[in-house]
Amino acid sequence: MTKTPFVSLEKLKEIEGRIPTPFYLYDEKGIRENVRKIKKAFSWNPGYREYFAVKATPNPTLLQILKEEGCGADCSSLTELMLSDAVGLRDGEIMFSSNDTPDEDFLLAAKLGATINLDDFTHIEILDRLAGIPETISCRYNPGGVFKASNAIMDNPGESKYGFTRTQMTEGFQKLQKLGAKNFGIHSFLASNTTGNEYYPALAGVLFQLAVDLHRETGAHISFINLSGGVGVAYRPGQTPPDILKIGREVKKVYDEILVPAGMGDVALYTEMGRFLLGPYGILVAKAIREKHIYKEYIGLDACAANLMRPAMYGAYHHITVMGKENAPCDHKYDVTGGLCENNDKFAIDRMLPKIDMGDLLVLHDAGAHGHSMGYNYNGKLRSAEVLLHEDGSFDLIRRAETPADYFATLDFPGLPKNP
């Protein structure tokens, strides 16, 4: 089975005529349609809001599109807060979820009126000292142990560095109340890239019951519950993607079973999707520039793990389409590689593909989240451009490619190039 790119070879050649490979290309139409589907899935909850996880794809043009569609921003660092501020997101439109948080990050989050989601009990005193405790505050919960859904282990929160313990949640709410907090949120992230439909409803059950118990124990007004991210992408052809509409219906059932009978039917729900929201609507476009015939057959691209590190870092699968050869037989076995001096710089290992000729354009699918954002400069490699494809077929450069002058910009040494 295969995947179909959202762009034609002719359009890619047109873009390449202006913007050299490698580059990321994002599908504006697909992004907007997916946001609307997510909002429809949770429209039964009047207070629902999606806070896009900025870390997934930190580009202000994309943040602006999501803002137009009613999304807020989930930030985890100073620069992500700055990006959100630049596109005009303010106050309750920003959720700040960070860990080992520097003072300056807390200070900017408070200045912007972001809803601060505390990762640790000790952060209560730190935030109070720096900026005071706001009336609305959130705490991140870690239940410990392993997290199961439908009797299958989904992840191991007990090994995670994030969040409050159950005892600390009660103590934290009580301490925050004494310091002036009046409205509380609960947040948790217990599994990543889940492709079934069970995760969110199972997580909702844990958090909804926690909310009821915390309200009874402390009298705190819990105004929202943040299910965070974790809904994933079907990276492999034939893999069934999550059904977000079904997920929304199943979460509603749990909401009606737990929160409504407890008199808490006014609790707003938030999500922080990055991967599910943007992953399928971004591709890395690269060119075959070298071939090697030794113990295996290798195809070398003008992109490398510095442009998309997930395969090298996690062994992650990204489907590859050789543009113009979509219907050709996949009768050649290749390792598809980049030019880093690291043997794990491989986008695919023993992948069956059509015969690849030098100059062919290759599309690496589902790279719209945690793709460009995880780029780095090892071996002096430079991060690629980002391009937005509009529904009418026009396109815009939304981030230029790095230059050697960018790489040397933090050095003060004679003879190195500088940007004008």
The verdict on 119 and 176 lying in the same domain is: yes
Q: What is the pLDDT of residues 20-32, one digit of tens each?
A: 999 999 999 999 9
Residues recognised as catalytic: 341
Domain boundary among 273, 308, 337: 273
Residue 192 has a pLDDT of 86
- The DSSP element (H or E) to which 117 belongs, if any, is strand 115-118
Closest to 72 in 3D by CA, of 82, 87, 59: 87
Question: Which CATH number does the domain housing residue 390 bear?
Answer: 2.40.37.10
Position 76 confidence tier, pLDDT thresholds 50, 70, 90:
very high
Closest to 73 in 3D by CA, of 335, 272, 237: 272
Residue 91 has a pLDDT of 86
Placement of tokens 């090892």 in the chain: 378
Asked whether residue 410 is domain-assigned, the answer is no
Asked whether residue 394 is domain-assigned, the answer is yes
Residue 15, φ and ψ in degrees, nearest 5: -65, -45
Residue 418 has a pLDDT of 80
Asked whether residue 295 is domain-assigned, the answer is yes
- 283 forms beta bridges with 25
Residue 420 has a pLDDT of 65
pTM tops 0.85 = yes
For the segment 292-313, the average pLDDT, to the nearest whole number, is 97
Residue 319 and residue 236 in contact, taking contact as beta carbons nearer than 8 Å: yes
Position 90 confidence tier, pLDDT thresholds 50, 70, 90:
confident
Asked whether residue 188 is domain-assigned, the answer is yes
The verdict on 311 and 183 lying in the same domain is: no
Position 41 confidence tier, pLDDT thresholds 50, 70, 90:
very high
The verdict on 263 and 397 lying in the same domain is: no
Domain boundary among 226, 258, 273: 273
Asked whether residue 395 is domain-assigned, the answer is yes
CA-to-CA distance for 62 and 388, rounded, in angstroms?
Answer: 8
Q: What is the pLDDT of residues 186-203, one digit of tens each?
A: 999 988 899 999 999 999
The verdict on 268 and 309 lying in the same domain is: no
Asked whether residue 211 is domain-assigned, the answer is yes
The verdict on 261 and 388 lying in the same domain is: no
Residue 148 has a pLDDT of 72
Residue 156 has a pLDDT of 76
Decide if pLDDT at 53 tops 90: yes
Decide if pLDDT at 151 tops 60: no
Question: Helical H runs in 57-198?
Answer: 60-68, 78-86, 103-111, 123-130, 166-178
CA-to-CA distance for 113 and 155, rounded, in angstroms?
Answer: 33
CA-to-CA distance for 169 and 306, rounded, in angstroms?
Answer: 40
Domain boundary among 254, 273, 292: 273
Question: Which CATH number does the domain housing residue 205 bear?
Answer: 3.20.20.10
Residue 144 has a pLDDT of 86
The verdict on 267 and 365 lying in the same domain is: no
Closest to 236 in 3D by CA, of 320, 298, 305: 320
Asked whether residue 21 is domain-assigned, the answer is no
Q: Which domain holds residue 88?
A: 28-273
For the segment 310-321, the average pLDDT, to the nearest whole number, is 95
The verdict on 238 and 311 lying in the same domain is: no
Asked whether residue 183 is domain-assigned, the answer is yes
Decide if pLDDT at 150 tops 80: no
CA-to-CA distance for 169 and 163, rounded, in angstroms?
Answer: 9
- Residue 295: CB atoms within 10 Å: 6
The verdict on 46 and 139 lying in the same domain is: yes
Position 334 confidence tier, pLDDT thresholds 50, 70, 90:
very high
Domains in the chain, number: 2
The verdict on 112 and 247 lying in the same domain is: yes
The verdict on 269 and 288 lying in the same domain is: no
The contacts found for 160-164 with CB under 8 angstroms, 24 or more apart, are: 161/99, 162/99, 162/119, 162/189, 163/119, 163/120, 163/188, 164/118, 164/120, 164/121, 164/139, 164/140
The verdict on 190 and 310 lying in the same domain is: no
- What the block records as the tokens of 159 is 């090994």
Average pLDDT, the chain: 95
Residue 279 and residue 290 in contact, taking contact as beta carbons nearer than 8 Å: no
Residue 159 has a pLDDT of 80
Decide if pLDDT at 417 tops 90: no
Residue 292 and residue 298 in contact, taking contact as beta carbons nearer than 8 Å: yes
Decide if pLDDT at 365 tops 80: yes
CA-to-CA distance for 290 and 357, rounded, in angstroms?
Answer: 9
Residues 6+ apart with CB under 8 A from 159: none
Q: What is the pLDDT of residues 243-296, one digit of tens each?
A: 999 999 999 999 999 999 999 999 999 999 999 999 999 999 999 999 999 999
- 353 forms beta bridges with 332
Q: What is the pLDDT of residues 387-408, one digit of tens each?
A: 999 999 999 999 999 999 999 9
Residue 374 has a pLDDT of 95
Residue 293 CA, distance from chain mean position: 37
Closest to 207 in 3D by CA, of 157, 162, 255, 247: 255
The verdict on 294 and 237 lying in the same domain is: no
Placement of tokens 């979460």 in the chain: 251
Placement of tokens 């690496």 in the chain: 364
Residue 391 has a pLDDT of 97
